[in-house]
Amino acid sequence: MDLIISVLGLLTLSLEGIRCQGVYAPPTVRIVHSGHACNVEEERHTERVYTIREGETLELTCLVTGHPRPQIRWTKTAGSVSDRFQDSSVFNETLHISKIQRHQGGRYYCKAENGLGSPAIKSIRVDVYYLDDPLVTVHQSVGEAKEQFYYERTVFLRCVANSNPPVRYSWHRGRDVLSQGSDKGVEIYEPFFTQGETKILKLKNLRPQDYANYSCIASVRNVCGISDRNIVFKLTNKTASPSIKLLVEDPIVVNPGQTVSLVCITTGGEPNPTLSWVSSSDSLPEKSVVKGGTLTLPAITSDEAGVYSCVASNNVGNPAKKSTTIVVRALKKGRFWITPDPYHNDDNIQIGREVKISCQVEATPPEELIFGWLKNGRAMRSSERMVITQTDPDISPGTTNLDIIDLKFTDFGTYTCVAALKGGGIPEISIDVNISSTTVPPLFFSFLVPPNLTVPRGKSPLVVREGDTVELECLVSGKPKPIILWSRADKEAPMPDGSLQAESYDGVLRIVNVSREMTGSYRCQTSQFNGFNVKPREAVVELIVQYPPSVEPVLLEMRQGLGRPVVMNCRVLRAHPSRVLRYEWRLGNRLLHAGHFDQSDETEYTVKSLNREGWGEYTCDVNNEAGAGRCTFLVTGKAYPPEFYYDTYSPLWQNRPTVYGFKLQWTQMNPNAVDRIVAYRLGIRQTGLQRWWEQEIPVDGTITKGELNTHNLTELIKPAAYEVRLTPITRFGEGDSTIRIITYSAPVNPHLREFHCSFEEEPICMFTQDKNDDFDWTRHSAATRDTKYTPNTGPSDDRSGSKQGFYMYIETSRPRKEGEVARLVSPFFNVVPKNPYGIANPPAYCFSFFFHMYGKHIGTLNAFLRQKGQTVAEGPAWSLSGNQGDRWKQAKVSIHPTASFQVVLEGIRGPGIEGDIAIDDVTLEEGECRDLPPINLRSSAPPTSAHIWPLSVTLAMTFLWGRR
């Protein structure tokens, strides 16, 4: 938030220009950052690239101008709805992502629109940098032999690490650095197919000296402060790929509820392999326990059956893998069916003919399944007339058949199919089939009658109204009576309950609160009834759902001034039935007009000249047989809400210590849409309190579109915040209100007795990076800064001598170039004059800071003064160039500002990478500087130049600043 406040000053002059040209202005947008950026650089087409380390905080702010105030939306693609952010990530104009991950990199777009002109869109590309720990794998040239790494074999050490930017690798043997050509027995190369992402160390024909500790160092060259990662692999004459053994049978057959333990041991491998377990499913069961090479599955269930594998890896050769299958014994899903005599084309089962009773059960393992048949509780054996078969090649596995040849009355009774597994331990499954002479009169010599299915007369098509309860009915006959299955004729359309099929025992499908989407054809179909295996019967019922007309608009507010016409239009979108539609226009309960629709699907009502009695709620009811649809028009003279103008972002100065004022500015939305606004009602209350204080602000003349209205709020108590409510008033009465919060924002050190910043805290005392420079200052401490690649530059501690203390410095390593500039800008300091009408004698302030300029490529350090309202280009207030030695020194300069001001510290990169400039302990005190430090130009360092510019030079700079 501090960043937003400080940057808003940059926009003030632009806002002043908008005010001169007319208050209404299309949007413009600019993206700034305030997170933990490593680097921000410009690419072509003015796109910015924002580099950040994985795990840091990404914070991007969208700065906009334009009036009315534009609406802002963040996306990660060019407006894709699927890639918008959660509300928790976006706060006002700021996109905030804590602990950013590598997959969150990409191009981010900020879009601003306010209805004027085209939307303004800016993008910024976020590049997330990371470096994972490297991994070394070892391979032999002789077919991944299991033996040890003997002499005269070629060995490959492959190092790989995931990173962004691309990683560089280096190899060490013990303390020695290995490079191409340094050892005839060693080759280092990057395979073409990996595009340089892996580094291979090839040891040709192993020698005794090749058995050593090898270190692979992965580096991204300290980009984003990411330090190098290191891994060590010890190669010996015993190094070998892993081998393992499973101390279990394959497969393992167990009963449900048993505890199963799988044991895996290593039989070889150097270094010692690591054991892990995986399953054929995505993951191991939640209740499984892994301890070393033992996997325990307590109280196993059928769902946990499958293939379990032990995997051993030591990064030598390929991982070793052994698997076993766990089979959990189970019986389930028993069913039966009855098949009529296959030699007669008849669905009836009759005395004297053949009938087959089939029984099917799913079993695990299937080879353990055994069947038995009982009649009236007594075991049956296969005979010439009662043929029992355990397996049938023409039907599904796990099936037994009982064929009854020449069915007789003596065969009536209860037949039971019993399924079990060999060895027991699993409950049996039994299925009863009852054949009884009481189900069919003996005259027909049959006991099973095939089904017949019909739709009752007058039950199709069935016409109902939306919201009713309807019953679809199919009449079914047959003995025994089958279950009816209901489904939609359109197989892809779901049933009313969302399923694809519903069962009914009485042939009736009941639908409660029927809707228009349920219109269509419904199919009723017989299922296998009591196992009777005949062709299913089916019928179709047509359902027609009538519903009231759907109309638009459902509700429309229409604002209009007195004496003007009002036109209202009500349109029918859909209705069933769509014929004989009637409409009625009413104002309240008073009938205005009625009629029928002919060819058109809309009706219109016009008020030629609106009067006070014409304000109110107009309705248009469109009726058919199923009911009415209603269009509602609320006609009022209510004024639209005002729109606050957000250019006044800080309190007005008042020469009183306890109060402040605020210039409230607003424009009126659509002022000409209703009668003239005669006044505004202003309400104000301190936040947290209940009571509003109100007053009227009279309006002289007519407000035009875009006209800026102003009212000064005074006597606001510091530092309290206030809620302000503004309501327009016309002849109709009060219009819509607008509310905003006014927050007191005290300037830094308003009386400026003393300011001190040592950069110890992350906000760095409200200092900000200049947006128009080439690169940024970096906050670091000696404890975290890696000087490995530039050891002869930069400080080894902060100004106080602490390695944990922080300071700001410019990093001059690549990709920085000679002459590139980094600027650090202080917060605003207010000059409070004793005379409120002006400054006769400008006050004096002493600006001081400590600097460290050590390295043979040191460039230049400048200090500037920025004042509001001045545009003249002058030189720096203080300047120093060249190597000043490895020590901190102090600079002081007196300044005499005449308006609110900032101080700017500018670092310019020298000709090489040993040119890091650091600053610390910045202070600003009231009064002239005393005890000015000497500038030593006779040191042993290379020639330097130092300049203390005249004080008159410090009063103007090249920057454009608006009124604060």
Q: What is the pLDDT of residue 680?
A: 96
Q: How far apart are CA 903 and CA 263, in angstroms?
A: 72
Q: Do domains 330-341+355-432 and 550-636 have the same CATH topology?
A: yes
CA distances (Å), 776 to each of 270, 798, 921, in order? 50, 19, 19
Fold of 25-130: Immunoglobulin-like (2.60.40)
Per DSSP, what are the bridge partners of residue 201? Answer: 157, 188
CA distances (Å), 300 to each of 296, 367, 424, 430, 441, in order? 10, 21, 17, 25, 53
For the chain, the farthest-separated pair of C-alpha atoms sits apart, in whole angstroms, at 135
> Cis omega before residue 271 (within 30°)?
yes
Q: How far apart are CA 501 and CA 493, in angstroms?
A: 10
CA distances (Å), 325 to each of 229, 273, 278, in order? 41, 23, 12
Strands 106-113 and 213-219: unpaired
Q: Are 601 and 572 a contacting pair, CB within 8 Å?
A: yes
Q: How far apart are CA 572 and CA 551, in angstroms?
A: 4
Q: What is the pLDDT of residue 422?
A: 87
Tell me phi and psi for residue 241, to 5 degrees: -70, 160
Answer CATH for 550-636 from 3.40.50.261, 3.90.1150.220, 3.30.2290.10, 2.60.40.10: 2.60.40.10
Which class would CATH give 243-328? Answer: mainly beta
Is residue 249 helix, strand or coil? coil
Q: What is the pLDDT of residue 21?
A: 42
- CA nearest 383: which of 412, 397, 404, 411? 404
Q: What is the pLDDT of residue 746?
A: 54
- CA nearest 243: which of 139, 326, 317, 153? 317
Other residues' Cβ atoms within 10 Å of the Cβ of residue 796:
12
Q: What is the pLDDT of residue 24?
A: 78
Fold of 330-341+355-432: Immunoglobulin-like (2.60.40)
For the chain, the domains span: 25-130, 135-234, 243-328, 330-341+355-432, 452-546, 550-636, 642-743, 754-831+843-926
Token pair in block for residue 256: 């449900």
- Quote the DSSP letter at residue 14: H
Look up the CATH number of domain 452-546: 2.60.40.10
Look up the CATH number of domain 642-743: 2.60.40.10
- CA nearest 425: which of 306, 331, 335? 331
Which class would CATH give 754-831+843-926? Answer: mainly beta
Regions of the chain short of the pLDDT cut 70: 1-22, 42-47, 77-92, 141-152, 190-197, 342-349, 391-396, 436-450, 479-480, 528-535, 646-657, 745-754, 784-790, 831-841, 869-874, 933-964
Q: Are 58 and 95 a contacting pair, CB within 8 Å?
A: yes
- Whole-structure pTM over 0.85, yes or no? no
DSSP letter for each residue of 358-423: EEEEEEESGGGEEEEEEETTEE----SSEEEES--TTS-SSEEEEEESS--GGG-EEEEEEEEETT
Look up the CATH number of domain 135-234: 2.60.40.10
